[in-house]
Amino acid sequence: MNDYIIVGSGIAGLYTAQLAAQHNLKVVLVTKEAVEECNTRYAQGGIAAAIGEHDSPELHIEDTLVAGAGISDPAAVRVLCEEGPARVHELINLGVPFDTHNGAIALTREAAHSERRILHAGGDATGAAIETTLAGVVANTNVDVRAWTLATEIMLENGQAVGVRTLDARTGERGEVRAKRIVLATGGAGQLFQATTNPTVATGDGVALAYRAGAGVSNMEFFQFHPTALRLLGAPGFLISEAVRGEGGVLRNAAGERFMLKLHPDAELAPRDVVARGIAAEMVSTDADHVYLDVTHLPADLVLLRFPTIAKVCSSHGLDITKEPIPVAPAAHYMTGGVVTDLHGRTSVPNLFAVGEVSMTGVHGANRLASNSLLEVLVWAKRVIEAPDGPIEAPTFPQTTQAITMAAEADETPFSRAALQRLMWRNVGIVREADGLGSALRQLVAWRDAQAEPATVREYEDANLLVTATLLTYAALLREESRGAHARRDFSETREVWQRYLVLKQG
């Protein structure tokens, strides 16, 4: 009998797998593409941890709570910031080649952090360095890695998770794997939106799997839009790291004006939601499809040392970032909400756990603090492997549970992934209002009800995207306020009555 099935092969899946292997547990890891094709690989900025001489967990806690806009769970945030430094040192010991300065780990500052606490590798290639290292570690364990294997369903017996059903992406063969515990480590859902920094594999699979199995899903309305994705003709939605602004990069409009100065005391280093909305508003007011991120005033050798990947990608499109500003625009980046877990990663379905972007631990609240996501993975992966048997703990933060029941209306618009992404970007994007959300929800339900039973990986992904899109849109319509990454034109104020989590379950 397997001890663990782990679904996903980013930092969440690989780190959890190697921890389980250290405990001599029998582990099967399934992932729908090649092992290293995941969101982690594209993470640039780094990992936040209070390991600096003048830093402390208390300062990190304070910054995280401020960014979370009143609905980060203080208990979860304390776990993150107090246990984080030890987990980071364990990652260092596994061989991740973090950048150093004068023999010590180099620490940088990013938006909304009060101290320099971001560890990075390869300048701006932190995710790739971590993914490569962990893939190598796992390859040298007894973990049974099954690439090109999609998890299509969580198997339940007597209300408990007992395994997953699978589909071989290459042969179409179906199978099932059983284990004592199932860990979802499937990452995010950036493919919901027309503009995203996420790779094509980010289709909300874990949220959909857990929701169909009866687990609670929360905070989906707080999908984070990264302020600065590359906006060049013919270029992909490539992330321009927060760290560029942390090192002194500034945002300018076409006239060369620093528009963020008038919007927030921290200007370019304001929380992500503030900067993303600031850029979006500036684009509307200047009738432009981008603004500029300018590092031309910084020493060229510093720029090339810290941001070699960004410089190389821009150069391949004819842009020298040491001499010309970078055209940027917001793009969907991070699923702040997800499957509700307790402080041990347990979901409301017995034996089902969630780690990383797919989970909602309470750490991020309404807006994730830059570089806290990779740290959350390390902390909760360890807690999952050491979690005692038993039901999910009682919530430590106020919440309201809502059962979803929706009937479809007749609709003539044919479904396509591109149509879904356009709809979500237009109606459920950076700023929302009731009419657009309601219209989107009716369309999503119509598409859902018209779907045939999935048979291919692409069809399962589309089904998962529809479930995830519906949850996000439903939550955004219900939350009649603006808070963090969730902005409503028709409810522009933050309301105390909404200082709680909205947990969605199947009706």
Please give the full DSSP string across 154-218, using - where no structure is assigned. EEEETTEEEEEEEEETTT--EEEEEEEEEEE-----GGGSSSBSS-TT-S-HHHHHHHHTT--EE
Task: Tell me the average pLDDT of the chain.
Answer: 94
Domain final residue, candidates 301, 331, 361: 331
pLDDT tens, residue by residue, 89-128? 999 999 999 999 899 999 988 888 999 999 999 888 898 9
Residue 410 pLDDT more than 60? no
Residue 397 pLDDT more than 60? yes
- DSSP alpha helices (H): ranges in 403-495? 417-427, 434-450, 457-478
The pLDDT of residue 383: 98
Share of the chain above pLDDT 70, in %: 99
Taking CB atoms within 8 Å and a gap of at least 24, the contacts of 302-308 are: 302/247, 303/247, 305/123, 306/108, 306/123, 306/124, 306/243, 306/247, 307/123, 307/124, 307/241, 307/243, 307/244, 308/122, 308/123, 308/124, 308/125
Dihedral of alpha carbons 467, 478, 276, 443, sign: positive
Helix, strand, or coil here: 432?
strand
Total domains in the chain come to 2
Is the residue at 132 inside a domain? no
What is the end-to-end Cα distance of the chain in Å, rounded? 33
Is the residue at 147 inside a domain? no
Q: Based on the domain organization, do 315 and 407 belong to the same domain? A: no
Cβ contact 97:121 at 8 Å: yes
What is the 8-class DSSP label of residue 3? E
Residue 45 pLDDT more than 90? no
pLDDT tens, residue by residue, 9-35? 999 999 999 999 999 999 999 999 998
Domain final residue, candidates 331, 364, 379: 331
The pLDDT of residue 112: 84
Beta-carbon contacts of 287 under 8 Å, excluding residues fewer than 6 positions away, are none
Residue 436 pLDDT more than 90? yes
> What is the DSSP track for 315-347?
HHTT--TTTSPEEEEEEEEEE--EEE--TTSB-
The pLDDT of residue 494: 97
Count of beta carbons in the 10 Å neighbourhood of residue 183: 32
Active site residue 489: no
pLDDT bracket for residue 238 (50, 70, 90): confident
Domain final residue, candidates 306, 331, 356: 331
CATH number, domain of 291, equals 3.90.700.10
The pLDDT of residue 411: 66
CA distance 402 to 96: 42
Q: Based on the domain organization, do 327 and 403 belong to the same domain? A: no
Is the residue at 437 inside a domain? yes
Instruction: Report the run of H or E that residue 380 belongs to, with start and end.
Output: helix 372-385
Residue 500 lies in domain: 399-506
pTM across the whole model: 0.94
Count of beta carbons in the 10 Å neighbourhood of residue 224: 27
The CA-based diameter of the chain, rounded to the nearest angstrom, is 66
Kindly state the tokens that stand for 201.
Answer: 């594999």
Is the residue at 261 inside a domain? yes
The pLDDT of residue 44: 74
Is the residue at 120 inside a domain? no
pLDDT bracket for residue 84 (50, 70, 90): very high
The pLDDT of residue 502: 96
Q: Based on the domain organization, do 320 and 233 belong to the same domain? A: yes
The distance of Cα 415 from the centroid of its chain, to the nearest Å, equals 25
Is the residue at 297 inside a domain? yes
> What is the DSSP track for 264-302?
-TTGGGS-HHHHHHHHHHHHHHTT-S-EEEE-TTS-HHH
The pLDDT of residue 273: 86
| Closest to 467 in 3D by CA, of 93, 289, 178, 210 | 210
326-335 vs 291-294, strand pairing mode: antiparallel
Q: Based on the domain organization, do 404 and 324 belong to the same domain? A: no
The pLDDT of residue 331: 96
Tell me the CA distances in angstroms from 190 to 107, 302, 425, one per residue in order. 28, 31, 11
The predicted model gives 490-507 an average pLDDT of: 95
CA distance 271 to 364: 12
Helix, strand, or coil here: 489?
coil
Q: Based on the domain organization, do 319 and 417 belong to the same domain? A: no
pLDDT tens, residue by residue, 214-237? 999 999 999 999 999 999 887 877
CATH number, domain of 418, equals 1.20.58.100
Catalytic site residue from 272, 277, 383, 479: 272
Is the residue at 144 inside a domain? no
Residue 250 pLDDT more than 90? yes
Is the residue at 359 inside a domain? no
CA distance 213 to 505: 10
Which range has the worst mean pLDDT, 106-110, 165-169, 355-359, 485-489? Answer: 106-110
CA distance 342 to 361: 6
pLDDT tens, residue by residue, 315-350? 999 999 999 999 999 999 999 999 999 999 999 999
- The two counts, helices (H) then strands (E), for the chain are 13, 21
